[in-house]
Amino acid sequence: MTRVWDLPIRLWHWAFAACVTFSLYTGLAGDISLMDWHQRSGFAILALLLFRLGWGLWGGRYVRFAQYVTTPHRVFAFFTEGLRRLRQRGEPAKPGGGGDPHTAPGVALVVLLFLVVGVQALTGLFATDDIFNEGPLVRYVEDGVSKGMTWAHHRVFRGVIALIATHLAAHAVYAAMRDPTPLSMITGRKAFDGPATEQYLARGLATIAAAAGLVYVALRLL
């Protein structure tokens, strides 16, 4: 077992999951009194997304953007190869132990989730219900733009839920196969033949502080 996930990315993963879950709850609960918390959670998500952008450039070995490259062909080939092995051996092949810590479908899902959550968070800055609540940047755009952003914000969350459900279903399959992948964001380790990642703890603290500070200052100035 090799340490693939550094500690900063593991902490980021769980903070991101908590904030996205909380945002979905406060946005869908139908309770107007939760909207202030919904907005604060959105700001936290923006800071976490900024952290992940930075960490993709100077984070641990396996979380950098160079590791997150795939194609539709690779995604399709992953499933066809799995089906081929299942027919030949009568049991699914476990994904661990190879020369790549990421699967092609896993890379595609992570990239899509990052983009969709980013769109959801950014459109929320310009969204308004024209009565009680509005994003902090509504006053800087025309009504037509704000209406378009509001329309998107009220629909894109379905994509977020669908991707989260897919992610959880994939881990349920891994668990059924007794593969340790679902525990990797806790232990940091996967069945992978390669060098262990560095931790970069001080760099992680500096990055999240800079990301949070940037979001805070930008919103205060605006």
By the 8 A CB rule, do 204 and 63 touch? no
What's the average model confidence in pLDDT over 194-198? 92
Question: Cα separation of 87 and 74, whole Å?
Answer: 20
Check whether 96 has a pLDDT greater than 90.
Answer: no
For 152, the 3-state DSSP assignment is helix
* Cα-Cα end-to-end distance for the chain: 48
Q: 80: exposed, middle or buried (C-beta count within 10 Å: 0-12, 13-18, 19+)? A: exposed
pLDDT digits (tens, 9 = 90+) for 24-37: 999 999 999 999 99
Among residues 2, 43, 35, 36, the alpha carbon closest in space to that of 19 is found at 43
The pTM score is: 0.91
Q: Which CATH superfamily is domain 2-221 in?
A: Transmembrane di-heme cytochromes, Chain C (1.20.950.20)
Place of tokens 């795939």: 70
For 73, the 3-state DSSP assignment is helix
Question: Cα separation of 100 and 212, whole Å?
Answer: 32
Per-residue confidence at 81, pLDDT binned at 50, 70, 90? Answer: confident
Residue extents of the structural domains in the chain: 2-221
Residues in the chain: 222
